[in-house]
Chains A and B, each alone.
Chain A
Amino acid sequence: MDKFRMIFQFLQSNQESFMNGICGIMAFASTQIYSAFDFNCPCLPCYNLAYGLGILLVPPFILFLLGFVLNNNISMLAEEWRRPRGQRRKDPAVLRYMFCSMAQRAMIAPVVWVSVTLLDGKCITCAFCTSVPVETLGNTSHLGLSQGDMKRVLARIPCKEIYDGQELIANEVAVRYLRCISQALGWCFVLLMTMLAFLVRSLRPCFTQAAFLKSRYWSHYIDIERKLFDETCTEHARSFAKVCIQQFFEGMRTDLAAAHCHLPRKAPENAGEDTEKLLGITDWNTMNMALKSWHRCKPPLHLHPPALPSAPGLCCGGCQGRHYQICKTSFLLPRAQSWAALWVYTVLKLP
């Protein structure tokens, strides 16, 4: 029990540390993915905006969903939400607490991605290069370009090697301008997010502390109960399997003895523990038959008490052991019943 207690305390105290760790790893992974990703602005008027905003917004959405997928508690939440009420009420506050804590952790990686993208500036430069204020930063007067042409020229700002609008607006000026706007947006976003997180974290103890303690306790309880139930079922399955297999070998031993018309082997009184463990199977043929029987005719998932007598008789189609006994029982019982009915009818002459 002490071992379980230590493991559970470790898991419990570490469940949140574990999830925080996953959160941190995902945030780090998002920065690495961004730096490894080869950003390639298409430099075409219709595609720049879509590409830039796509890179800014689609990966965060994917990271958010991934944050939920990697969180083990999502299945716990779904189970608690969907289960029938039965004898235990559902507490919506607990469900809300579980969802909020998962959502908060899942939001960290997307926020990091958006911040890094904005602070780097390439996405905004690509997306909004056609909206640069050329009147203030460049010369529109003496070139006489149409709107379409100007947009086409401006769209090439992110691609320095093919940019041909140096007289219209200098590439460095436009890039610096756009990057400045992007970084300003990035830092404002970071400040907004940290302020929001700070407010959420600091206002909670001032308003709803008692309700929070309750929700936290019961959400931990649901988690622990689920784990303990799984442990108990595993223990049960282990014992079930052990008894099933023991009964299989017992049945094998008895049936072999019956089939070969000699008495079941009895271990001599001073036999050691090892001899007991051999379960009466002591030669090559017998072991092979046991293995073959295990493969071809696994015993049913029904443990029987060891005191039931096993009579010789039918053997159905090469099966041994427990199944043989069940076959026999299921064959004999209806026959016995019909014989009994006939006897009653004959003797008592019931209509």
Chain B
Amino acid sequence: MDRFRMIFQYFQSNSESVMNGICGLLTLASIKMYTCIEFSCPCLPQYNMAYGLGIMFVPPIALFLCGLILNRQSLVMLEEWSRPQGRRKKDLAAIRYLCSSIMQRAMVAPAAWIIVTLLDGKCLICAFSSSMDPEKFVDFASASPVQVQQLLAKVPCKDEEFMRNNTSRKAVSRYLRCWSQALGWSILLILIIAAFLARWLRPCFNQAALLQAHHWSNYIDIEQKIFEETCCEHSRLFAHKCILHFFESMRQEIKLHSFSLPREGEGAEGEEDLLRGITDQDQVNKLLKMWYYEKPPLNVSKATQRHPLGRERSPLDTGLCWGSGGCSKHWHWATGRTH
């Protein structure tokens, strides 16, 4: 019992820790990706906005989806939501709780990406340099409208000859970076205040319902894990029995067909048990060949004896078989519930 209790506590505490860990790793990965991928604004009037805003918004969507995919609880929630009601009512509060906790964790990495992008400033400079008012900048005020667009579009690219030491370019860059960083810090502040308020004020609103939802969402998660563990244990025992029956049936067949004297010596009886009556090369080869050519049927409820003619036995007996909903039925036998 103690062992089970320890395992339960481990799962309970670790499910959320594991999810938090994955969330943190994804955030770090997003920051690392931003620094590794070389930002290269096309500096062309038609492409700048699309590129700048694309780099700001498309990766967060991909990171959000990744956050949902990597979170195990999203599968648990979907299963609970889509299952037929059967004999257990669905707890919508638990499902909502799971959904909100999944969404919160999945939003951290995209938010980190957007904030890092804004604080760096390159995306906004690339996207909005063409939208600046040229009148405010000396070098651009004197150019023709077509040229102005071209020049403004080239502002993000410092290595252009004309742009290298241009003061107006630097002015536009600084201006846009200032706005970008202000936006970045504001978003960060708003998000942190929102998180703070949500956590601080939560106990003031319906704490009992929250505790229940939290408990039952944990329960659904743990129940799922234990079901999988039980299925593993069951399939291990099933396989063990199946193989033992197979060896027994081989031993009986050998007894039927061989003319060897019955063993009288006291010998090594422990070893004899392990040998299971298979004591020479031909018998071993036959056993291995039989294992490949005729695997035993998936039925351990009756003693399996090989039919001499090798007639196929229908596996649709009682017990656990391929096609009749095997495992889930067994689960229902064990818990007294049926679907």
Q: Which 6 A-B pairs have the closest CB atoms?
A: A86-B294, A301-B281, A306-B265, A180-B42, A225-B239, A217-B327
Query: Which residues of A lie under 8 Å from residue B51 when comparing CB positions?
Result: 180, 183-184
- Are A221 and B239 closer than 8 Å at their CB atoms? yes
Using known A-B contacts A176-B157, A190-B62, A305-B264, determine if residue A87 contacts B78 with beta carbons closer than 8 Å: no
User: Does B298 sit at the interface, judged by CB under 8 A?
Assistant: yes
User: Does A3 sit at the interface, judged by CB under 8 A?
Assistant: no
Count CB-based A-B contacts (< 8 Å).
203
The A-contacting residues of B in range 40-72, CB under 8 angstroms, are 40-44, 47, 50-51, 54-55, 58-59, 61-62, 65-66, 68-69
Query: Which residues of A lie under 8 Å from residue B69 when comparing CB positions?
Result: 194, 197-198, 201
Please tell me which stretch of A63-71, A202-210, A280-288, A334-342 contacts chain B, meaning at least 4 of its Cβ atoms lie within 8 angstroms of it. A202-210
- Are A209 and B79 closer than 8 Å at their CB atoms? yes
- Are A88 and B79 closer than 8 Å at their CB atoms? no
A259 to B279 alpha-carbon distance, docked (Å): 28
Interface size on B, residues (CB 8 A): 78
The A-contacting residues of B in range 242-283, CB under 8 angstroms, are 242-243, 247, 260-261, 263-268, 271, 274-276, 278-281
The B-contacting residues of A in range 272-330, CB under 8 angstroms, are 300-308
Within 8 Å by CB of A86, from B235, B293, B325, lies B293
- Are A13 and B280 closer than 8 Å at their CB atoms? no
User: Does A159 sit at the interface, judged by CB under 8 A?
Assistant: no
Residue of A nearest to B228 (CB): A13
- Are B232 and A13 closer than 8 Å at their CB atoms? yes
User: Does A51 sit at the interface, judged by CB under 8 A?
Assistant: no
A209 to B298 alpha-carbon distance, docked (Å): 23
Within 8 Å by CB of A194, from B47, B50, B66, B235, lies B66
Using known A-B contacts A8-B236, A84-B294, determine if residue A220 contacts B231 with beta carbons closer than 8 Å: yes
A202 to B76 alpha-carbon distance, docked (Å): 10
Q: Which of A180, A198, A206, A300 has the most CB of B within 10 A?
A: A180
User: Does A73 sit at the interface, judged by CB under 8 A?
Assistant: no
**Interface set of B (CB-CB < 8 Å, partner A):** 37-38, 40-44, 47, 50-51, 54-55, 58-59, 61-62, 65-66, 68-69, 74-75, 78-79, 82-83, 157, 159-160, 229, 231-233, 235-236, 238-240, 242-243, 247, 260-261, 263-268, 271, 274-276, 278-281, 284, 288, 291-298, 310, 312-313, 315, 322-323, 325-328, 339
- Are A176 and B41 closer than 8 Å at their CB atoms? yes
A175 to B240 alpha-carbon distance, docked (Å): 64
Question: Size band of the A side of the interface?
Answer: 35 or more
- Are A187 and B271 closer than 8 Å at their CB atoms? no
22 sample A-B contacts, Cβ–Cβ < 8 Å, listed by A number? A83-B295, A87-B310, A88-B322, A173-B43, A176-B40, A176-B43, A191-B62, A197-B65, A201-B74, A202-B75, A202-B78, A209-B79, A210-B325, A210-B328, A213-B328, A224-B235, A229-B243, A243-B275, A302-B279, A302-B281, A305-B267, A307-B261
User: Does A60 sit at the interface, judged by CB under 8 A?
Assistant: no
Query: Which residues of B lie under 8 Å from residue A88 when comparing CB positions?
Result: 294-298, 315, 322
Using known A-B contacts A184-B54, A213-B327, A239-B274, determine if residue A232 contacts B247 with beta carbons closer than 8 Å: yes
- Are A218 and B326 closer than 8 Å at their CB atoms? yes
Q: Which of A84, A85, A305 has the most CB of B within 10 A?
A: A305
Query: Which residues of B lie under 8 Å from residue A220 when comparing CB positions?
Result: 231-232, 235
